[in-house]
Structure 1
């Protein structure tokens, strides 16, 4: 992500959050479809995560619409709400990464599926990318 967006930085980070929350939502489906015989507690957990990530994605979209409508003047309250949402998205991604690591380390079905391990590592790296972006924004304020 480039940092020359100036006034549009809140919109830029929301664009990133929108993309990555949608990706994480899709990743829950990829994992469920890829890992034959995945233990039922993990299947149910992934379904719940899909719902939560979808809700977060929709919330980010609503904020994108609000920031876009605000034009060149972004009220401090809206800017603070964007930062809180990004912080929430960051924490959510960290928890999603933990789940993926747990699947990789504890699921018998995953342990028998080398492709699933590679895909989980890829999913983890992608979520870590968003975490890095969000941390730079949040900690540079």
Structure 2
């Protein structure tokens, strides 16, 4: 992501969050569908994560709509709320990565499925990419 958006930066980071939260939501489905016989505790955790990520995605969409309706003038209070949401998104992605690593390292079914290991590593890298973008924004304010 480029950082020359100036006053549009909060909208730009919301666009990124919207995309990546949707990706993470879809990744819960990919893992469940790819790993036949995945342990029930991981299947349940992935269903719960799918719901949580969907809720976050919807919150981000709502904030995007608020910023657009504000005529791209972002009042201080809204800007602070955007930063809080981005912080939440970052922390949520860190927790999602923890689950992915736990599945990768502790699931007996995944241990015997090299494709699943590769896919989980890819999913983890994608979430880490979003975390990097979010951290860059939060430290540049």
Q: TM-score if structure 1 supplies the norm length? A: 0.99
Q: Distance in 2 between matches of 1:133 and 1:69?
A: 25
Match of 2:42 in 1: 42
Partner secondary structure for residue 19 of structure 2 = helix
- Within a 5 Å distance, the mapping from 1:1-141 to structure 2 comes to 1-141=1-141
Q: CA deviation at 1:140?
A: 1.4
After TM superposition, the runs of 4+ consecutive aligned structure 1 residues lying more than 3 A away are none
Partner secondary structure for residue 2 of structure 1 = coil
Gaps of 5+ in 2: none
Partner secondary structure for residue 104 of structure 2 = helix
Q: CA deviation at 1:75?
A: 0.4
Q: Distance in 2 between matches of 1:72 and 1:83?
A: 16
Q: CA deviation at 1:10?
A: 0.4
Equivalenced residues, count: 141
Q: Distance in 1 between matches of 2:103 and 2:72?
A: 44
Q: TM-score if structure 2 supplies the norm length? A: 0.99
Partner secondary structure for residue 74 of structure 2 = coil
Deviations 1:22-81 (A, max 9, x none): 000000000000001100000000000000000000000000000011114210000000
Q: Is the 8 A contact 2:67 2:73 kept in 1?
A: no
Change in 2 beyond 3 A, CA 1:44/1:136: same
